[in-house]
Amino acid sequence: METYRQRLADVTARRGRLCVGIDPMPQVLAAWGLGADVAGLEACARGIVEELGDRVAVFKPQSAFFEPFGSAGVAVLERVLDDIRQTGALSILDVKRGDIGTSMAGYAQAYLVPEAPLAADAITVSPYLGVGALEPAFELASSYGRGVYVLARTSNPDGETIQTADAGGMTVAQHVVDTVQAANALHDDALGLVVGATHAAIGCDLTSFTGSLLVPGIGAQGGRVDALATAFGAAVEHVLPTASREVIGGGRRELGDRAARLLEQVRRL
């Protein structure tokens, strides 16, 4: 069985290192000329995959924009995840789950077991109940060739207070980086980190980190592809730049051109 890192390396070698966020928020639906209802949600989310599925390596559906529609919205998310599988791209389901014991195990079963209705190739998780509490997700991910991305240094300004706080001589973010890297040795490098593209200096040392780095914030949040090499240094080879509104925010007609522009920038990294 291929590991998540092997699968990611294969698809990005063929299609380029770009992750497109599927964030069908009301503003995006309006730009697409769609209503803020289940029909609009489905037309937008599945349309993104239909339009870009043969050229983009990774898609990141944001669960938060599907859940407000209840079971109908979750059913759309199931279909979107299946659409992504059919194109040969990988999916990172942005759910940011984090809990302890059997609850974390339940979340892991929901998203990382291949037969689960909401199965994704990888998920995002929060470490703020302790990195060790995420072990059920780590174990399932490595067992099934899936991935887990742990929040470390996020792109939102409000995260700085907690993430740069002292944790015994290092920042909280650095503690997360180091603890996840130690766990990676036991889990086939299935574990990655979320580190935002919006920081001129990311504030943590990623020199020894061997997993994937999911880097959101390109475009609408102010992050730039051409700034990643300076911010990440030698770790830039592990970076998976992620853009949502920058690609999908202009409507379906602009999808291809917007994605192509970003892919070209990423190829120059």
Q: Which residues are catalytic?
A: 96
**Residue 91 φ then ψ, to 5°:** -115, 135
To the nearest 10 degrees (0 to 180), the angle between helices 135-144 and 101-112 is: 30
Count Cβ neighbours within 10 Å for each residue of 68-99 and write b for 16 or more, e otherwise: ebeeebeebbeebbebbbebebbbbbbbbbbb
How far apart (Å, rounded) are the C-alpha atoms in residues 204 and 207? 9
In terms of DSSP H, where are the helices of the chain?
Answer: 4-15, 26-31, 38-52, 70-87, 101-112, 135-144, 160-163, 172-184, 228-232, 245-248, 252-267
195, β-bridge pairs:
153
Q: What distance separates the 2 farthest-apart alpha carbons in the chain? A: 52
Run of H or E residues at 242: strand 239-243
Q: Is the dihedral of CA 132, 134, 137, 142 positive or negative?
A: negative
182 burial type by CB count under 10 A (0-12 exposed, 13-18 middle, 19+ buried)? exposed
Count other C-beta atoms under 10 Å from residue 26's C-beta: 12
Q: Which positions ≥6 away from 102 have C-beta within 8 Å?
A: none
